[in-house]
Structure 1
Amino acid sequence: MRARTYINTMIATAATATTAFAANGAQADEPGLLVWAFMGFAAVIVAGQLVPAAMLVIGAVKAIFAKPEEAKIKG
């Protein structure tokens, strides 16, 4: 009897299910304020990471082209 109740419950649930339609409220050609704020925040993070990356690349280039005598520790 318990299996029949379970099956009837599943059939009733499946029978009352309807399809979902996508909302048509937002237009794709006009982003909102939050989108611009998120993009600005991401740009600030990327710009902040460029400074240490540039310093690392410049240091690596200097180390590659440095004379061997300059690379030794003076002491």
Structure 2
Amino acid sequence: MNGKYSLMTIAQSLMLVLMGTGAAHAASTNKVYMSGTLILLFLGFCALVVVIQLMPAIATLYGMIKGALSGSKQKAEATSRNR
């Protein structure tokens, strides 16, 4: 090998290092989810507001894209008729 490491040796060394440090970066799971009903209702209401706001935004975006695509076709037809 003359001082050069093969790709397999580097990969095995990296795997050993990562396997040894896996537990050090893990999150603690000692706490239990204990939110009240009012918190869950509030978060549900916020999600509902976001979804309701997305509906007209998507419809407007669809109309803008449709208008841009049909506008380019009309412009192409108008230039071809003039020539």
TM-score, scaled relative to structure 2: 0.46
Asked if 1:47 corresponds to 2:72, the answer is no
Please state whether the residue corresponding to 1:55 is helix, strand or coil: helix
Identify the structure with bigger relative contact order (alpha carbons < 8 Å, sequence gap 6+). 1
Q: CA deviation at 1:33?
A: 0.6
What is residue 74 of structure 2 aligned with on the other side?
68
- What are structure 2's unaligned runs of at least 5 residues? 1-30, 76-83
Question: Aligned-pair RMSD on alpha carbons?
Answer: 1.7
Paired AA for residue 39 in structure 2: V
Runs of 4 or more above 6 Å deviation: none
Identity of aligned residues (%): 33
- How do 1:1-75 and structure 2 match up within 5 A? 29-66=33-70, 67-68=73-74
Please state whether the residue corresponding to 1:31 is helix, strand or coil: coil
Q: CA deviation at 1:68?
A: 2.1
- What are structure 1's unaligned runs of at least 5 residues? 1-26, 70-75
The structure whose Rg is larger is 1
Alignment coverage as a number of residue pairs:
43
Q: CA deviation at 1:28?
A: 6.5
